Amino acid sequence: MAALGREGMKSALRGDGDAGDVWALLGAYALLNLAVLLMYGMDKGRARGDRRRIPEKDLLLAALIGPFGAMAGMRVFRHKTRKARFKLVPLFALLHVALAFLILN
């Protein structure tokens, strides 16, 4: 996949460039969010089994990188929903949406 800058993404989405790059980027982003979702599920399973947990700072860092997977994991597994720090996760998602908007416009 070629380096895809702002103009390259705009071009690909308009149909002027290589749309395969955009699909590859979106696929990688989806896989990243899936990995974060699974990470939250693993931590919930460890919590139930009274085993060693994933540190909260690691879960928050993962949420910063893949916020939609984190939000899904929090909802599906009912995990970390009461912790004050994890109220940042929806803000991370808004940040991702805002960045996508800025890149595409």
Per-residue confidence (pLDDT) for residue 1, from 0 to 100: 45
Angle subtended by helix axes 56-65 and 19-48, to nearest 10: 160
Residue 71 lies in a domain: yes
> Number of structural domains, the chain?
1
Residue 79 lies in a domain: yes
Residue 83 lies in a domain: yes
Closest CA to 75 of 85, 86, 65, 84: 86
Residue 25 lies in a domain: yes
Residue 33 lies in a domain: yes
Per-residue confidence (pLDDT) for residue 14, from 0 to 100: 56
Q: pLDDT of the chain along its 105 residues, tens only?
A: 455 566 666 666 555 556 677 888 899 999 999 999 999 999 999 999 999 999 999 999 999 999 999 999 999 999 999 999 999 999 999 999 999 899 888
pTM of the entire structure? 0.80
Residue 1 lies in a domain: no
What is the domain range of residue 27?
Answer: 6-104
